[in-house]
Chains A and B, each alone.
Chain A
Amino acid sequence: MATLDSKVPAGPLADKWRKHKADIKLVNPANKRKYEVIVVGAGLAGSSCAATLADLGYKVKCFVFHDSPRRAHSIAAQGGINAAKNYQNDGDSVYRLFYDTIKGGDYRSREANVHRLAEVSVNIIDQCAATGVPFAREYGGLLANRSFGGAQVSRTFYARGQTGQQLLLGAYSQLSRAVGAGTVELHTQSEMLDLVLVGGQAKGIITRDLVTGAIERHAGDAVVLATGGYGNVFNLSTYARGSNTTAIWRAYKRGACFANPCYTQIHPTCIPVSGDYQSKLTLMSESLRNDGRIWVPKRKEDCGKDPNAIAEGDRDYYLERMYPAFGNLCPRDIASRAAKRVCDEGRGVGPGGLGVYLDFSDAIRRLGENGVRERYGNLFDIYHEITAESAYQTPMRIFPAVHYTMGGLWVDYNLMSNIPGLFVLGEANFSDHGANRLGASALMQGLADGYFVIPYTIGDYLASQKPGSRPSADSVEFKGAEENVTAMTRRFLANQGREPVSHFHKRLGKIMWEFCGMARTREGLQKAVQQIPALREEFWANVRVPGSADTLNQSLEQAGRVADFLELGELMCRDALTREESCGGHFREEHQHPDGECKRDDANFGHVAAWEYQGPDKAPARNVEALNYEFVKMSVRNYK
């Protein structure tokens, strides 16, 4: 069994990070250039990490499967980034941001990590402004803020509806600067396919050059994974099509524990599915909930009517009714489940009754159409492109969709996994969002990890490694890992199957959505745990991967990723099955309060479940890290 030592420093909550930074080991400037760090992924966390480590003097190699680091899916985040700046003078503070995030996560995250996140949030905004991120401004030239779900202050910084894009381009510009200066060696279209352990420590990776097909071995003194989330296990999600679990899943199979895999965020405001061909669900930013009002008809009979013809009194603004204090701005998990509930009652709108209205007519009356356009114009455009409907004239139809995964590889306070030398940042790790992530917190975490946490904590590990002790990429461990990768490629290409990869991905997605989606039951999860291995067998027997290994082969890329999803999906269901409680995004029908809210079981499940691979066809081991709440009392979340 793995030992899970969170390494949370002792002392008062607000002093932990400061004290830790003063206590951990440093690497002297002359030695830094003797260490080589491998960074996989170039989204917010990966880019900011690679650039910052290079600025510190480390040699950095950065790998990304995209053709440019600027394509990473952080780019698609719309709404904003939280920071406890209190520029609005509305009573915000580091403690409040910490508390909102802990509460939003339904008391399933680590206190010390979350407090650190809130502390460095203020530095992130400074850093981003310095790099030229064109945040929204007031006429006086100072930064503007908006409010977001789960908070009663305005602490969200934004750049129109393209905040993720601007933050990523900011981090990308810093990475580009380092690449131009020769301090980062950038490998684009290079996918990590295995992790190499030497003497039990992470010392390298195996990659495939997606253009030439070359399998390469890369050695480093430490490996950082910043490879994003795994929501595409559901096939349909708001993720980019290329987002995958492969890097972290292959690390899991090398011994890294996978924590809370079942914690999935279903975002309440996405454009509903329109057909079987669907490849992608598009998010409508949560910021729309600031001015849009969510409703369904009170009576089932009205569902087919033109929404503008339904009288005010016949509408059920159900979030405002059920959660008067937070209304349309209640947290995502709550808003999603409420939408599911009204649709289950038969009051959903649009094709298949799987939709609710998000209505801007009040906002248009208040702000004028131009006022609404200024705030949300690009989102309304996106909606129009996809549905051919104008949300200025008729309410948007929205429905929940998979959006983010709070689970990920287990890390300690230093963001190091249980494998020494393997660090995990951003969405790929598990630590900061508990069982539910609040809006505008993912961007905050990605940049916190990359700009302000890892640059300190990686030094503590590297200082324990002798400079120049990096193993050769010709060692047996590297050759073994390479053989592992090539064998899988050979197997795919030699397979005499009949079905394309997408066939299996869609079927897996349906199983996951039905049994491991917004509401889960013991019975359903047990079924999924039976069905997924059967589908996996069918996949390996019947998948067809045309083309060859020595050229760009998108079917081959996809096959490897879906093979990993077919294993991960089972682990998610096992995790959901074992967690006999409801918390945040994990809702078990058996465990709810009479009003339909999550019923946590802190006594038995107030812990992190970190799964450990035991070998093919063996049940994984479930390790536990107790969550010791020293400063906040675990209480029932109440947004009423």
Chain B
Amino acid sequence: MVAANHSTQPLSLTLRVWRQAGPKEPGRFVDYPSKNLNPNMSFLEMLDVVNDELTAKGEEPIAFAHDCREGICGTCSCTINGKPHGPGRGVATCQVYVRSFRDGDVITVEPFRAEAFPIVKDLVTDRSAFDKIQQAGGFITARAGSAPDANAIPVPKGDADLAMDAATCIGCGACVAACKNASAMLFVAAKVGHLGLLPQGQAERDRRVLAMVQTMDDLGFGSCTNQYECSAACPKLISHEFIARMNRDYFKASLRSSFRPESLGAGGGAG
């Protein structure tokens, strides 16, 4: 939660913004003074205003990723004053308000930085690596039309609630940006935890964790050294305990897969 500044006095801030024309271009910080800001304005609305001023002057506006502006789509992704998603706790960039800064502040705005998230332009990065991890195993295979009645498989409330805690991940990548190793462990652990806690997710449990971790490693994310910066930066405050849970799952799955290789006849049918 962002600390509230209840003053309604307008603020003046200087935005020190990372500008980079393209993935291969060099980048640099550029200062944009921003005056007379209403404290109730959101951080992204402030960028809108700066961009409109730049456009009117014929300059190219600052490219930044955003969409829902209510903290759920996971698109927005600025590192503000060195912190992914800025000063608040449990919020995304779009939920940062001008009231959380003080008059005269200089605010540094950068993209999420990680080797696996190359910069596209200015504050926009390419986070498609996350999709690739999901495609490797972040699912329960369930063809439409084949599902049993939903109440045929009771799920203890505690498990369902814990699965939901993990499932609230918005896929923004703040965990990666906050980690000194640019590890994606919290992101992957959240999905593995969510699906692995549910009875429906058991059939693919081992395959899922092995495939997702393998893909994560292949895509250039770093290793986890248990500093938990990820949880602190997570807009949904997803607990690092899911990482421990995933490590257990991964270990067990590795053991089982070495003793119980997949059938060579898999996939074939009679007749």
Interface residues of A (CB under 8 A from B): 48, 51-52, 55, 66-73, 75-76, 85, 87, 123, 125-132, 134-143, 159-160, 162, 164-166, 169, 172-174, 176-177, 179-180, 186, 188, 211, 240-242, 274-275, 277-280, 282-283, 381-382, 384-388, 451-452, 455, 498-500, 502-503, 544, 546-547, 551-552, 554-555
Contacts and interface: CB of A to CB of B under 8 A. Distances in A.
B164 A130 contact: no
A275 B157 contact: no
B73 A71 contact: yes
Nearest to B169: A169
B264 interface: no
Nearest to A177: B139
Contact of B55 (A66, A173, A176, A500): A500
Interface string B128-149: 1011001111111111111111
A135 B163 CA distance: 10
Interface stretch (B43-51, B178-186, B226-234, B252-260): B43-51
Given A177-B135, A180-B136, A502-B48, A73 B68 contact: yes
B120 interface: yes
Contacts of B171: 68, 70
A142 B139 contact: no
Which 6 residue pairs are nearest across A and B when measured between Cβ atoms? A141-B154, A180-B135, A130-B147, A173-B139, A388-B4, A129-B150
A214 to B, nearest CB: 14
Contacts of A277: 38, 41, 45-46, 48-49
Interface of B: 1-2, 4-6, 21-22, 38, 40-42, 44-46, 48-49, 51-52, 54-56, 58-61, 63, 65-75, 88, 90-91, 95, 97, 99, 120-121, 124, 126-128, 130-131, 134-151, 153-157, 160-161, 163-164, 167-168, 170-171, 194-195, 198, 200-201
16 contacts: A68-B127, A68-B131, A71-B75, A73-B68, A76-B70, A85-B151, A87-B151, A130-B200, A131-B139, A132-B198, A140-B154, A160-B164, A188-B131, A279-B45, A452-B144, A555-B55
A67 B136 CA distance: 18
A134 B52 contact: no
Nearest to B215: A180
B207 to A, nearest CB: 12
A178 to B, nearest CB: 9
A423 B55 CA distance: 38
A388 B99 contact: yes
Given A134-B198, A139-B157, 15 more contacts: A68-B127, A71-B68, A132-B163, A137-B154, A137-B161, A172-B134, A177-B139, A211-B126, A277-B48, A277-B49, A381-B1, A382-B71, A382-B95, A551-B22, A552-B63
Contacts of A127: 142, 144-145, 147
Contacts of A134: 160, 163-164, 167, 194, 198
A123 B144 CA distance: 9
Contacts of B151: 85, 87, 142-143
B35 to A, nearest CB: 13
B68 A52 contact: no
Given A137-B160, A279-B45, A455-B144, A240 B134 contact: no
A211 to B, nearest CB: 6
A331 B58 CA distance: 47
Given A134-B163, A177-B141, A211-B120, A499 B128 contact: no
B157 to A, nearest CB: 5
Given A73-B73, A127-B147, A242 B56 contact: no
Contacts of B131: 68-70, 176, 179, 186, 188
A109 B271 CA distance: 49
Nearest to B156: A141
A555 B44 CA distance: 15
Given A71-B73, A75-B68, A279-B44, A131 B140 contact: yes
A241 B136 contact: no
A240 B120 CA distance: 22
A70 B149 CA distance: 26
A129 B147 CA distance: 8
B6 A159 contact: no
Contacts of B195: 132
A72 B170 CA distance: 12
Contacts of A381: 1, 90
Nearest to A68: B131
A544 B55 contact: yes
Nearest to B211: A180
A305 B48 CA distance: 34
A72 B72 CA distance: 10
B55 A174 contact: no
Given A129-B200, A132-B194, A552-B63, A280 B144 contact: no
A523 B63 CA distance: 41
Given A130-B140, A176-B135, A180-B135, A165 B130 contact: no
Most buried by A among B40, B68, B128, B147: B68
A242 B73 CA distance: 11
A237 to B, nearest CB: 11
B71 A48 contact: no
A242 B75 CA distance: 11
A71 B63 contact: no
Contacts of B128: 67-68, 188
A67 B73 contact: no
Contacts of B130: 68
Contacts of B140: 130-132, 173
Contacts of A125: 150
A87 B150 CA distance: 10
A126 B147 CA distance: 6
Given A67-B127, A173-B140, A381-B1, A165 B168 contact: yes
B75 A137 contact: no
B67 A132 contact: no
Most buried by A among B45, B55, B88, B200: B55
B58 A546 contact: yes
A52 B150 CA distance: 19
A162 B139 contact: no
Contacts of A169: 167
Contact of B2 (A135, A385, A498): A385
B58 A544 contact: yes
A274 B38 contact: yes
A628 to B, nearest CB: 31
A143 B150 contact: yes
A501 to B, nearest CB: 8
A547 B63 CA distance: 11
Contacts of A176: 131, 134-135, 138-139
A544 B53 CA distance: 12
Nearest to B92: A385
Most buried by B among A51, A130, A160, A188: A130
A71 B74 contact: yes
Contacts of A547: 60
